[in-house]
């Protein structure tokens, strides 16, 4: 575990030569001053100096004055103690470990830049920070903001929302569980990406099944179709069976009719050819007619005359035979046409009768209309069955991945311990933890059903309870506990004293604490302050408590001051670090 202890902070403007400098106590540090004096700026400057960009917008006014930040720290890691110096100016950060060569990083003002990724990897290794989060379907290293999140309660949202003081984690799946597991020392290692993809597929399948169910539920026509099918199906099926049989015979007859038509056409064509052949033969009588080509008399011996008569007789016989064939086929086609007419008439009569049939107002027409819906229902049912089988298969595969049961048992143990600590701290602040599980179980808590002072005190108890759990994890890095604006504006004196007393007890068993309080002493001694910080220190906190005043508790926007005494050698050394190559 790497434990970070802050030693000093320097912020200096090269343009105005105004600056801020303070050293920190290793125990308690109380930052005080009037509202808007710059107390939050001090805490945000610490975070910004570490190379974290979350507070960059809040420091815009200061950064426009050409400032640099220097944060000196002491690190305790594996029995070793060494110093770290962070120097930042805009998008440049220089990090020096002891007397080693400084490491320079340029272009870190964007979390998506290559240089920032290089710095993030470097500082994460020093801290031992290796939280892994899931972003869509891949595992990625957590942003640096998550390394500070357990140790920082912001004034803007920290006293209202949990885990939102620094960073944006909306795009990380199950961030709360991975974050809590990491800082509670629970190893939730498993094939998370495979499981994620399976769960995504299962969710998509369940959505499709829901769409199918919703469609069937909303579509009354499908329900009516099912009723019509059940009540009319018998008669309709009998007719359709008869229709199929008759239609089969009809198709055969229609095919036969087509063949006969083709045959008659062929015979008539041959008949026409024979008629022309006979006519030509008769115009070529031997020894009587002339050759159509050379105008000579055709030969007329006995043999030629015999052949001529034979051709005439054969052609005439063929023509007579064709005539008889045409007659026979015409008779057949008439018979087939009669049968076709009869079959069509039967189908038409039977269909008209069936159309007039009804069963409780249900007609064959309406049954046919609704059969399309029945086909849709059949397809939907088949699709639902396939999806359900796939979901069962996915469930078995997810179960085979394992790991969840053991993790859940470990989480329950941590939750029991956390609740015992949480109740004690809440009791010390005079507030009761809500009885519902979602406000007591660590992995369920997102907010509390309180407001005003009660909510404020309960959040103090919650944050210190979780902070205690984190400090007990020897594998986790630790930062000073940064509490911005420990009081709400409407907290009365008695409650402030309760909170001071609570903080005094907590600091005995915790690490370095830095918290800010609003204090306004007015323009004259006749105006009583809300409380006297020096008296608070003497009554509640150890002698080494550091009081850090911003603007003498009177001036607004007093973080950078021209009266701040800063060692010239420190400024020179810092500038030399910024110029390192």
- Judged against a pLDDT cut of 70, whether residue 233 lies above it is answered with no
d(CA 338, CA 344): 10
- Tokens read off for 495: 């409650």
For residue 62, report the phi and psi dihedrals to the nearest 5 degrees.
-70, -45
Note the residue count of the chain: 581
* pLDDT higher at 156 or 305: 156
Encode pLDDT of 510-520 as tens digits: 889 999 998 76
Contact 340, 249 (CB under 8 A): no
- pLDDT value for 442: 96
* Beta strands 28-33; 513-518: pairing state: parallel
d(CA 507, CA 478): 15
Neighbours of 428 (CB within 10 A): 17
Cα torsion 381, 382, 385, 387: sign: negative
CA–CA distances in Å: residue 125 to residues 93, 105, 147, 453, 540: 17, 16, 12, 40, 38
Encode pLDDT of 448-460 as tens digits: 999 989 999 999 9
For residue 544, report the phi and psi dihedrals to the nearest 5 degrees.
-85, 10
Q: How confident is the model at residue 526 (pLDDT cuts 50, 70, 90)?
A: very low
Q: How many helices (H) and strands (E) does the chain have?
A: 14, 15
Q: How confident is the model at residue 167 (pLDDT cuts 50, 70, 90)?
A: very high
**For residue 60, with 0-12 CB atoms within 10 Å meaning exposed, 13-18 middle and 19 or more buried, which class applies?**
exposed
Percentages helix, strand, coil for the chain (3-state, rounded to 5) are 55, 15, 30
d(CA 579, CA 128): 28
Q: How many CA atoms lie within 13 A of 343 on its CB side?
A: 19
Identify any residues that bridge with 153 across adjacent strands, giving them in sequence order: 483
User: What's the predicted TM-score (pTM) here?
Assistant: 0.66
d(CA 556, CA 558): 5
Contact 91, 108 (CB under 8 A): yes
The string of DSSP codes covering 125-182 is HHHT---EEEETTEEEEPPTHHHHGGGEE-TTTTTTSSS-SS---TTSBTHHHHHHHH
CA–CA distances in Å: residue 381 to residues 189, 207, 215: 39, 15, 12
The set of residues, in sequence order, having a beta carbon less than 8 Å from that of 277 and lying 6+ positions away, is 315
Q: Which stretch, 310-314, 353-357, 554-558, has highest mean pLDDT?
A: 554-558
Contact 28, 541 (CB under 8 A): yes
The single residue listed with the structure tokens 């055709």 is: 298
**Helix or strand holding residue 459 (H, E):** helix 452-471
Identify any residues that bridge with 73 across adjacent strands, giving them in sequence order: 6, 84
User: Which among 447, 448, 446, 443 is positioned nearest to 418, based on CA atoms?
Assistant: 443
* pLDDT higher at 279 or 268: 268
DSSP for residue 434: P
Encode pLDDT of 287-329 as tens digits: 555 555 455 555 555 445 555 556 567 777 777 888 888 888 8
- Judged against a pLDDT cut of 60, whether residue 145 lies above it is answered with yes
Neighbours of 405 (CB within 10 A): 9
Chain mean position to CA 230: 44
The string of DSSP codes covering 377-402 is HHHHHHHHHHHHHHHHHHHHHHHHH-
d(CA 444, CA 276): 106
**Helix or strand holding residue 5 (H, E):** strand 2-13
d(CA 218, CA 341): 47
Q: How confident is the model at residue 239 (pLDDT cuts 50, 70, 90)?
A: low
- pLDDT value for 517: 92
The predicted model gives 369-378 an average pLDDT of 67
């Amino acid at each position: 575990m790497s434990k970070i202890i802050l030693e000093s902070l320097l912020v200096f403007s090269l343009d105005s030569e105004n600056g801020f400098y303070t050293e920190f106590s290793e125990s308690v540090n109380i930052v005080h001053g009037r509202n808007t004096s710059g107390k939050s700026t001090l805490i945000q400057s610490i975070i910004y100096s570490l190379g974290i960009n979350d507070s960059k917008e809040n420091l815009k006014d200061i950064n426009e004055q050409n400032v640099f930040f220097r944060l000196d720290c002491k690190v305790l890691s594996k029995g070793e103690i060494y110093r770290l110096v962070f120097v930042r100016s805009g998008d440049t950060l220089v990090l020096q470990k002891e007397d080693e060569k400084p490491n320079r990083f340029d272009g870190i003002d964007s979390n998506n830049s290559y240089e920032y990724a290089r710095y993030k990897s470097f500082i994460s290794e020093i801290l031992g920070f290796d939280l892994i989060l899931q972003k869509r379907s891949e595992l990625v290293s957590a942003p640096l903001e998550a390394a500070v999140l357990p140790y920082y309660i912001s004034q803007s949202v920290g006293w209202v929302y949990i885990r939102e003081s620094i960073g944006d984690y909306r795009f990380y799946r199950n961030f709360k569980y991975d974050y809590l597991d990491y800082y509670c020392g629970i190893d939730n290692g498993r094939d998370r990406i495979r499981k994620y993809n399976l769960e995504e597929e299962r969710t998509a399948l369940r959505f499709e099944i829901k769409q199918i169910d919703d469609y069937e539920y909303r579509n009354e026509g499908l329900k009516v179709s099912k009723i019509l099918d059940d009540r009319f199906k018998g008669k309709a099926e009998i007719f359709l069976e008869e229709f199929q049989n008759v239609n089969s015979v009809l198709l055969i007859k229609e095919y036969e009719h087509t063949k006969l038509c083709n045959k008659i056409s062929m015979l008539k064509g041959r008949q026409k050819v024979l008629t022309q052949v006979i006519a030509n033969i008769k115009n070529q009588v031997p020894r009587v007619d002339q050759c159509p080509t050379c105008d000579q008399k055709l030969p007329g011996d006995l043999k030629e005359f015999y052949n001529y008569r034979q051709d005439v007789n054969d052609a005439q016989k063929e023509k007579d035979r064709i005539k008889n064939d045409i007659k026979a086929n015409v008779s057949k086609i008439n018979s087939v046409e009669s049968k076709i007419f009869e079959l069509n008439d039967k189908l038409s009569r039977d269909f008209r009768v069936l159309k007039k049939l009804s069963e409780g107002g249900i007609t064959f027409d309406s049954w046919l209309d609704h059969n399309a819906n029945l086909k849709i229902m059949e397809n939907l049912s088949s699709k639902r069955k396939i999806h359900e089988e796939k979901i069962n298969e996915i469930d078995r595969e997810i179960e085979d991945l394992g790991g969840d049961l053991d993790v859940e048992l470990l989480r329950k143990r941590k939750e029991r311990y956390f609740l015992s600590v949480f109740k004690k701290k809440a009791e010390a602040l005079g507030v009761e933890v809500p009885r519902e599980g979602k406000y007591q179980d660590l992995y369920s808590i997102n907010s509390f059903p309180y407001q005003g002072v009660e909510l404020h005190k309960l959040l103090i108890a919650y944050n210190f309870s979780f902070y205690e759990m984190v400090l007990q994890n020897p594998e986790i890095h630790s930062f000073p506990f940064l509490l911005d604006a420990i009081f709400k504006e409407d907290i009365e004196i008695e409650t402030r004293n309760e909170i001071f007393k609570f903080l005094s007890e907590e600091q005995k068993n915790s690490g370095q604490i830095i918290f800010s309080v609003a204090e306004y002493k007015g323009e004259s001694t006749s105006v009583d302050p809300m409380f006297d910080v020096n008296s608070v220190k003497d009554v509640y906190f150890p002698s080494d408590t550091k009081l850090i005043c911003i603007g003498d508790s009177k001036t607004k926007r007093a973080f950078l001051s021209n009266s701040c005494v800063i060692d010239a050698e420190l400024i020179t050394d810092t500038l030399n670090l910024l110029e390192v190559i």
